[in-house]
Amino acid sequence: MSTPKSNTAQEEAAAADITTATKEEATTITCKAAVIWGENEVPKVEEIQVEAPRKGEVRLKIYFASICHTDVLGCKGFPTPLFPRVLGHEGVGTVESVGEGVKDLKSGDLVIPTYLGECGECENCRSGKTNLCQTYPLQAFTGLMPGDGSNRMWVRGKPLYHFLSCSTWSEYTVVDVNYCVKIDSRMPLPHASFLSCGFTTGFGAVWREARVHKGSTVAVLGLGAVGLGVIEGARFHGASQIIGIDINENKRAVGEAFGMTHFINPSKTNDKSISDLVKQLTGGFGVDYSFECTGVARLVNEALEATKVGIGKMMMLGAATEKCVEIDFVTLLSCRTFKYAVFGGVRVQSDLPRLIQKCIDKQVKNLDKLLTHHLFLDDIDKGFEMLKEPECVKVLISIDR
């Protein structure tokens, strides 16, 4: 496999595109994309057609994308088995062209496409209590554009379904402008891709949802990109004890690099429950906050039980194909709080730019430690095997050679 060009070279190419962006009327583009043809199939790079953006939309040239666990679930037909489809919901690129009525973005702007929008005017947005906008909701089930309910991508004459509003495993993609966030060119592009989902979900859950306080105790179940985002967020907000939990022993070192203070490998603890192991490290009381980042249904109750009676908070951040989770009634009787947090509660327009600025200012650190594997779009099928490697955290995809 050829070596992907350096991040710096990719960023210089992006800068060149910014300066040469054309104002000519947009037409359909033929490009390469990773297409999933059916459930449990690996992505296949195909030549596809990407239409011009329509009203309220932008067409993006993608420079970097990455692979998230949710993309793997998407290959399995989660949350709805819509095929053929272009997956990918983490990425960064430039605006190649804009549709009618787009005012806040222009050709050449660097942006992160996201899977949530924010109108700022609906009841939910005005409440300040949630990041789930009523006007621009999570586009997880239809695989179509939110504006008019149609598609913008085609392969072999067939319509392609979109994925989570983004479909970033493509040289070009069309995204509703309300799902895009403009970024500062000082932000390293690979890091920007990681902020599209996983890391932000973890960091945001600490910051926006749990509101972890200084001197508190935290447990993190699953040390992938989401869990490491939780650890970084807990460190940033002054948690005194950060317990990382994973059956992969390789995650001990990376967790410590992010600020983890204790590590539990449940596979090496004589069948003791995770909640009991956490309580052993916290004087028998449990933690103030726990974060379930695996999506494994049987761990939800363990994560909740690992928190303090009466005041403990558990945030669920993982995704899985299992439709139900089971929580013991006795655990509920202990008056702990349980909430799911999509994108960590981060509001796309109000909060994500603030997190980006924290990264630029070096207040939020360690994004470079997420990158463990790097490949070209042409080799994306190998990325799924890379995810299985014990040392893997994030697989970065260079879209252009």
Q: What's CA 86's distance to the chain center, in Å?
A: 16
What confidence category does residue 231 fall into, taking pLDDT thresholds of 50, 70 and 90? very high
What are all long-range contacts of 9-12, with beta carbons under 8 Å and residues at least 24 apart? Answer: 10/63, 10/64, 10/189, 10/398, 10/400, 11/63, 11/188, 11/189
What per-residue confidence (pLDDT) applies to 22? Answer: 41
Bridge-partner residues for 92, per DSSP?
64
pLDDT at 19: 38
* Span 180-203, pLDDT tens digits: 999 999 999 999 999 999 999 999
> Which alpha helices (H) appear in 152-258, and where do they start and end?
189-194, 198-204, 225-236, 251-258
pLDDT per residue over 1-57, tens digit each?
444 555 555 555 554 454 334 444 679 999 999 999 999 999 999 999 999 999 999
Q: How do the residues of the chain divide into helix, strand and coil, expressed in percent and rounded to 5? A: 30, 25, 45
Q: Tell me the DSSP string of 41-99.
A: PPPEEEEEEEPPP-TTEEEEEEEEEEE-HHHHHHHTT-SS---SEE----EEEEEEEE-
| CB 60, CB 175: distance < 8 Å | yes
Q: What is the pLDDT of residue 391?
A: 96
- Alpha-carbon gap, residue 390 to 384, rounded angstroms: 13
| Closest to 292 measured CA to CA, from 238, 247, 339 | 339
Q: pLDDT by residue (tens digit) across 98-146?
A: 999 999 999 999 999 999 999 999 999 999 999 999 999 888 789 999 9
- Fill in the amino acid letter for 91: G
79: cis peptide before it, omega within 30°?
yes
More confident residue, 359 or 271: 359
- Give strand pairing partners of 394: 371
Strand 110-113 relative to strand 91-98, pairing: antiparallel
Residue 18's pLDDT is 42
Q: Please report the pLDDT score of residue 24 as a whole number.
A: 46
Mean pLDDT of the 242-271 span: 96
Confidence of residue 321 (pLDDT cuts 50, 70, 90): confident
Confidence (pLDDT) at 7: 55
**Which residue shows structure tokens 């994004």?**
367
User: What pTM was estimated for this model as a whole?
Assistant: 0.92
Mean pLDDT, to the nearest integer, of 320-336? 90
Rounded-to-integer distance, Cα 169 and Cα 161, Å: 13
Cα 196 from Cα 170, distance rounded (Å)? 16
Query: DSSP state, 178?
Result: G
Report pLDDT digits (tens) over 329-345: 999 999 999 999 999 99
Q: What is the DSSP letter of 147?
A: T
